[in-house]
Amino acid sequence: MSLDRFGRDINYLRISLTDKCNLRCVYCMPEDMTFQPREELLQDDEIFRLVDIFAGLGFHKFRLTGGEPTVRANIVNIVKRIANTPGVQTVAMTTNGLMLDRLARPLAEAGLQRVNISIDTLDPNRFKTVTRWGKVQDVWSGIEAAKEAGLEIKLNAVVVRGYNDIQDVVDLAALTLNNPWQVRFIEMMPFGDVADFQRAGVVSQDELMATISESLGFLTPANSGQLDGEARLFNLPGAAGTIGFISSVTQPFCAACSRARLTADGRLRMCLLREMEVNLINPMRAGATDEELTAIIRKAIWFKPWGHGLAEDVIPLNRVMSEIGG
C-alpha cells in the first residue's frame, strides 16, 4: 500500500504510451501539434521496469493512454507483459477506437479487460468538426469489435459548448437504454495553449442532467451513490447501462483520488491539473537502482497534492492533455 500524506491509498497508474494521436480533437491539441522524438520517450523495457516497481508498491490497476495508445508499436505485447506482472489485477485502455476493429481481439487475448472509447457525438458531421480528421463510423466499428472480443466497454464524451452539448448528449445517453455500457460525460479541463478555449466551453453536470432528463426521463443515482473511479453514476428508467458524469471542474472528487500518471516522456505527475512532475526517465537512464527509483516514487506519492487549483485560477500550462495521458 502506498499512502500519501492525506491517507489516500494511491494504487492506480495511468501510463501514457505516446503523445501522438491519429485525431486532432479541438479540446485536446492544436491541429499542427509537434510531437516529441521517439528517443525522448520511455522505451518498452523502461515501461516494464517501472510497472514492476509500481506493482511492488501496491499499484494494482493500470490504464494505458496516449495520445492514442494503439498507435504505439508492440501494443499487444506491452499489454501482455503488463497483464502478467505479479500484483497487477486490472489492465485497461483509453482509446479513440479507430484501430480496435483489428486490435480488440488480440488485446483481449493479451489480457486487456476494459476499454474506454472516446466518442463525443454520433453525428458524422459534428464528429468531423470536433476531431478535425475522424469518421464516427470507424469508432463505431471499434466499439462493435470490442463488444465481440468480450471487453468491458465505457464510452467517453467530452462535452464542448456549442459543439455537442444538446442533441448529441441525448443521443449518447440513449445508448444506455439497450446496451450494458457506461456512457460518461466529461467536463473540459483547461490545459496549456488551449486553456482559454477549454474554459469557455465547459458545460456543467447540472446542465447535462437537465438536458438528458428533459428528453429521456428522470436520472436516478446508481452504484449506491458511490463514485465509480471518478464518475458519478445514474440510471435512466429501465436502462441496461449507466450514465456517468466526470465533473472535475464544477464537482471535484479529489478526496477519493487514487491516481498517478506516468507521461510518455517519463515524468510522474501526481495530479492531472497541477504542473508538478517528478522526472523518472533521467535517473533511470543514469543508472539508478530499483531501490533508488522506488524512493523517488514514494516521495512523489507522499507529496501528492490534495487537488487542483482551478477555483483559485491556477491552470496547468506546461502541457496539453495529449502530453499527459488524461
Assigned domain for 7 exists: no
More confident residue, 228 or 239: 239
Looking at residue 197, its pLDDT comes to: 43
67: preceding bond cis by omega (within 30 degrees): yes
Looking at residue 32, its pLDDT comes to: 84
Measured distance CA(139)–CA(115) in Å, rounded: 12
32-43 pLDDT, tens digit each: 888 899 999 999
Mean pLDDT value of segment 236-250: 91
pLDDT at 195 over 80: no
Assigned domain for 158 exists: yes
SS3 187: strand
Looking at residue 309, its pLDDT comes to: 59
Assigned domain for 285 exists: yes
Report in angstroms the alpha-carbon separations of 301 from 8, 40, 42, 210, 287.
10, 24, 20, 38, 22
Assigned domain for 130 exists: yes
Assigned domain for 76 exists: yes
CATH number of the domain within which 124 lies: 3.20.20.70
Assigned domain for 213 exists: yes
pLDDT at 198 over 60: no
Mean pLDDT taken over the chain: 90
What range does the domain containing 71 cover?
12-323
CB half-sphere exposure, 50, CA atoms < 13 A: 32
Assigned domain for 269 exists: yes
Measured distance CA(49)–CA(244) in Å, rounded: 34
Assigned domain for 196 exists: yes
Measured distance CA(208)–CA(244) in Å, rounded: 11
Mean pLDDT value of segment 302-312: 77
- Which one of 106-110, 230-234, 269-273, 274-278 scores highest in mean pLDDT? 106-110
Choose the weakest-confidence range: 22-36, 97-111, 191-205: 191-205
Place of cell 464518475: 231
Model confidence, pTM: 0.92
Tally of domains in the chain:
1
